[in-house]
Amino acid sequence: MAPHPFQKKPKLVYIYPNRSSFVVKDEAIFSNDYEVIELPFDIKWKPLLPFYLLRQALLLLIYRWQSRIFIVQFGGYHSLFPTLIARCSRAKSAVLIGGYDAVAIPQIGYGAFANQWMKHAVAWSYRLTDRLIPVHDSLIQDTVIYGTSKPEQRGIRAYVKNLKTPSTTVFNGYDSNDVFHANDRDEYDKRVITIAAGCAEDRRKILKGVDVFLEAAEISKDFEWIIVGDVLKDVPQNVKCYAALPQTKLAELLRTSSVVVQASLSEGFPNALCEAMMCGCVPVVSPVAAMPEIAGGFGEILKNKSARELSEAVGRAHQMASASHALKMKDHLMRNFSLEKRKLALLKIIADLL
């Protein structure tokens, strides 16, 4: 329940590693009922990690006198002291789980649980906190077969044995009035897009499925294939690369594309996929985490990490693209993954904890 207009809002300490779109959206949600005290944990130089942790601990001890609730965005080194101090001082804490903080893919050195030191900080954070808030159930427990030689157990329970901390899944949320929206058009160019920040790095290229995306581009030469997030060298002639784009520019590019590909090995609840669908792009996704639910029968779901399979799926997805299909996708996203739903769920969890 929101405080009376003449009442002071209770204070909430919000800890996060960097100011991403996730942080901005959730901060706005918390600000409805709470006065938010921000505590960023942006490490500029890794050897200074102990200094950053000490500084964080001191600030948390000060803020604890002002607030009874610590909310942490993602698990990491930065989540250990908030959960520990809250537990020791009879305050409450919750950790929002996004994806990286719930997996280990040692083949490419990806995931908090693939990091020799971070995995201990994250595991203890999850044991100490009062509530885990993943963006999808798969981040708690999942079996993955896409891009693996045999089924792999992933999710927090695969790495933190006998975990007793309760979890409540809260999907990411989207606003129908956002910059990402479709045009009324029934003719779609044969243009495929994938959004993969930092994919010039080999590990990110494999993680985000850009490797198979490039192979598929060699097969479907009649399509234009677009990569947003990094500029790659030696790509096929029908591939264009863009570095990170402002939201307005990205939305314009999405509105001129017919298909969005997200062939990742691991995800949580990808914003880029939802934003592309809001712009009318038909999804082609790997069967990982929330992506099949997001696609919702309005696109194609890959079974294997195969360039041929991806190429064929893109062809079928392009045939679905239309103004009416875009409206159905928007309706699906707004019914199931609205920003209002996320707001109500998060504020209820915090109220229940207090």
Do the domain assignments include residue 90?
yes
- pLDDT band for position 7 (cuts 50, 70, 90): low
For residues 296 and 308, state if they share a domain: yes
- Same-domain pairing of 197 and 318: yes
Q: Are residues 199 and 129 in the same domain?
A: no
Q: What tens digit of pLDDT does each residue of 128-155 get? A: 999 999 999 999 999 999 999 899 999 9
pLDDT at 22: 82
In a domain, 238, yes or no: yes
d(CA 248, CA 229): 15
Q: Is residue 111 included in any domain, yes or no? A: yes
Q: In terms of domains, do 121 and 48 share one?
A: yes
Angle, alpha carbons 326-330-331 (nearest 5°): 115
For residue 5, name the pLDDT band (cuts at 50, 70, 90). Answer: low
> Is residue 5 situated within a structural domain?
no
Categorize the per-residue pLDDT at 53 as very low, low, confident or very high, splitting at 50, 70 and 90: very high
Tens of pLDDT, residue by residue over 210-227, are: 999 999 999 999 999 999
Pair (263, 292) in one structural domain? yes
Mark whether 63 and 195 lie in a shared domain.
no
Whether 18 and 165 map to the same domain: the answer is yes
Count of Cβ atoms closer than 10 Å to residue 293 Cβ: 17
Boundaries of domain holding 63: 11-173+338-353
Is it the case that residue 127 has pLDDT exceeding 70?
Answer: yes
Predicted pLDDT of residue 188 = 87
Residues 133 and 79: their CA atoms lie apart, in Å, by 13
CA distances from 65 to 41, 266, 292, 326 (A): 20, 39, 44, 50
Mean pLDDT, residues 14-43 taken together: 93
Using one digit for the tens of pLDDT, what is the confidence trace for 252-305?
999 999 999 999 999 999 999 999 999 999 999 999 999 999 999 999 999 999
* Domain identity same for 228 and 208: yes
Q: Is residue 34 part of a domain?
A: yes
Q: Is residue 114 part of a domain?
A: yes
Output the six-digit token pair for 285: 């996704």
pLDDT tier for residue 42 given thresholds of 50, 70 and 90:
confident
Q: Residue 4: its pLDDT value, please?
A: 55
Q: What CATH number should be reported for the domain holding residue 297?
A: 3.40.50.2000
Percent of the chain scoring above 90 in pLDDT:
90
Task: With beta carbons less than 8 A apart as the criterion, state whether 64 and 8 touch.
Answer: no
Could you tell me how far CA 313 lies from the centroid of its own chain? 24
> What global pTM score does this model have?
0.93
pLDDT at residue 178 greater than cutoff 80: no
Per the domain annotation, does 185 fall within a domain? no
Domain membership flag for residue 2:
no
Q: Which of 19-23, 72-76, 120-124, 285-289 has the lowest mean pLDDT?
A: 19-23
Instruction: Quote the pLDDT of residue 170.
Output: 98
The Cα 222–Cα 226 span in angstroms is 13
∠ CA 280-285-289 to the nearest 5 degrees?
115
Same domain, 79 and 126: yes
163 plus 30 within the same structural domain: yes
**Angle formed at CA 290 by CA 157 and CA 42, multiple of 5 degrees:** 70
State whether 143 and 17 are in the same domain: yes
* Number of domain units in the chain: 2
Please tell me the distance from the alpha carbon of residue 295 to that of residue 260, in angstroms, as a whole number.
11
pLDDT-based confidence at residue 175 (cuts at 50, 70, 90) = confident
Which pLDDT band, with edges at 50, 70 and 90, does 186 fall under? confident
Question: What is the arithmetic mean of pLDDT over 148-175?
Answer: 95
- Do 107 and 122 fall into the same domain? yes
